[in-house]
């Protein structure tokens, strides 16, 4: 891509038809989902998927999620199961990704799966994403639309800031409502495993399953996105569980602990999740270390704390 060549599109039918045409032609298009903005490319075209990794600077051993418009489209790609059907009936479309064994004749590039025999697949709920995927008519690989390891994008402006000139277009339909990447559940083994906490609370999934999700062993190979120890990171240093900032720090508050910005003055975890990445973007622009107030570690707080721990982890 030439500098400043990234198109800005909207959610109109004409713009989505243009975006779908670009995706079918092997171009990269960022688009909104209810979780974060995704950097989309045809999951069936190896060269296109390689372009996703290149645009993000993402390591190719880190698999991608294939986004599809319906459960039937997912069944064309993976080996479906009764457990998958039960979870999908409860939570799709929505902020949940399932990892299942690939189906014979799936057609998905091995770059999407990082060579694994499984595929991470999701049916997003955002109406613009739904319409775009329907127009494309095939699976779209879409990691978060940001440079690899950095703060995830929840607005089109975030995408332009990180990827302008590297991708064909950005579809702008306002801020993302959930604000955290999807929860990922592995269904390729004998029991369901939580591979990444996210925008759907683990407790809700366990209620539907009638059993607890197993935890992934941190020493296991990467089997889904969002498992790198350092990820979602600002340029500035991040300090967690801070009751107050130090003199050289900005403060990201929560509830009664106010600061330069507050994830949710009322202590609402859904509001905090929706605001997390945008707040980190705003504070990081000031290039000053960031201290973060304690966040309760239940419900969506589990996923918020997961992102914050990775943001604060030592960088390579």
Check for a shared fold between 7-215 and 238-312.
no
Q: Identify the pLDDT of residue 60.
A: 73
The Cα 41–Cα 50 span in angstroms is 9
Nearest-Å Rg of the Cα atoms of the chain is 19
What mean pLDDT is predicted for residues 151-169? 96
Pick the closest to residue 279 from 158, 170, 128 (CA basis): 158
pLDDT recorded at residue 62: 80
Q: What digits encode the pLDDT tens for the residues 29-57?
A: 999 999 999 999 999 999 999 999 999 98
Q: To which CATH superfamily is domain 7-215 assigned?
A: DHBP synthase (3.90.870.10)
Band of pLDDT at residue 122, cut at 50, 70 and 90? very high
**Per-residue pLDDT averaged across 255-262, rounded?**
97
Helices (H), 254-293: 269-284
pLDDT of residue 312 exceeding 70, the answer is: yes
Q: Full-prediction pTM beyond 0.95?
A: no
Query: How confident is residue 1, by pLDDT bands cut at 50, 70 and 90?
Result: very low
pLDDT band at 2 (very low <50, low <70, confident <90, very high): very low
| pLDDT value, residue 3 | 42
**Which ranges constitute the DSSP H helices of 7-126?**
13-24, 46-56, 71-75, 82-91, 110-113
Q: Match 């909207």 to its residue by tokens.
A: 10
Which pLDDT belongs to residue 12?
A: 98
pLDDT band for position 182 (50/70/90)? very high
Which distant-in-sequence residues (6+ apart) come within 8 Å of 50 by Cβ? 60, 111
Q: CATH for 238-312?
A: 3.40.50.11030
Query: pLDDT band at residue 230, thresholds of 50, 70 and 90?
Result: low
- Quick check: 229 pLDDT over 70? no
3-state secondary structure of 210: coil
Q: Give the pLDDT mean for 214-236.
A: 71
The DSSP string of 127-193 is HHHHHHHHHH-S-EE--BSSSTTBPPPSSHHHHHHHHTTTSSEEE-----SS-SPPEEEE-SSSS-E
Q: Is the pLDDT of residue 161 over 70?
A: yes
pLDDT for 129 equals 98
- Provide the pLDDT for residue 256: 96
The owner of tokens 């030592």 is: 314
The ranges assigned to domains in the chain are 7-215, 238-312
CB atoms within 10 A of CB 187: 20
Average pLDDT in the 266-273 region? Answer: 96
CA angle 56, 115, 186 (to 5 degrees): 90
The pLDDT of residue 210 is 92
């Amino acid at each position: 891509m030439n500098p400043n060549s990234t198109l800005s599109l909207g959610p109109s039918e004409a713009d989505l038809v243009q975006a779908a045409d670009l995706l079918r032609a092997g171009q990269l298009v960022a688009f909104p989902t209810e979780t974060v903005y995704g950097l989309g490319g045809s999951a069936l075209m190896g060269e296109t998927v390689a372009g996703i990794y290149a645009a993000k600077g993402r390591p190719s051993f880190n698999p991608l999620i294939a986004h599809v418009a319906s459960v039937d489209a997912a069944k064309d790609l993976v080996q479906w199961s009764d457990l998958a059907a039960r979870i999908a009936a409860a939570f799709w479309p929505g902020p949940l990704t399932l990892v299942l064994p690939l189906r014979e004749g799936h057609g998905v590039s091995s770059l999407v799966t990082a060579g694994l025999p499984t595929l991470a697949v999701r049916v997003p709920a955002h109406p613009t994403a739904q319409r775009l995927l329907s127009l494309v008519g095939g699976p779209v690989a879409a990691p978060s639309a940001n440079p690899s390891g950095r703060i995830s994008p929840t607005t089109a402006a975030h995408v332009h800031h990180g990827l302008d000139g590297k991708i064909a277009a950005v579809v702008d339909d306002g801020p993302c409502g959930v604000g955290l990447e999807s929860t990922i559940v592995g269904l390729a083994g004998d029991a369901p495993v939580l591979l990444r906490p996210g925008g759907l609370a683990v407790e809700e999934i366990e209620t539907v399953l009638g059993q607890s999700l197993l935890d992934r062993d941190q020493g296991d190979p990467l089997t889904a996105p969002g498992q790198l120890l350092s990820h979602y990171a600002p340029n500035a240093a991040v300090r967690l569980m801070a009751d107050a900032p130090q003199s050289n720090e900005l403060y990201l508050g929560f509830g009664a602990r106010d600061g330069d910005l507050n994830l949710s003055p009322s202590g609402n975890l859904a509001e905090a999740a929706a605001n997390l990445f945008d707040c980190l973007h705003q504070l990081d622009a000031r290039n000053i270390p960031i201290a973060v107030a304690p966040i309760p570690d239940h419900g969506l707080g589990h996923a918020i704390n997961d992102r914050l721990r990775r943001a604060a982890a030592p960088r390579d």
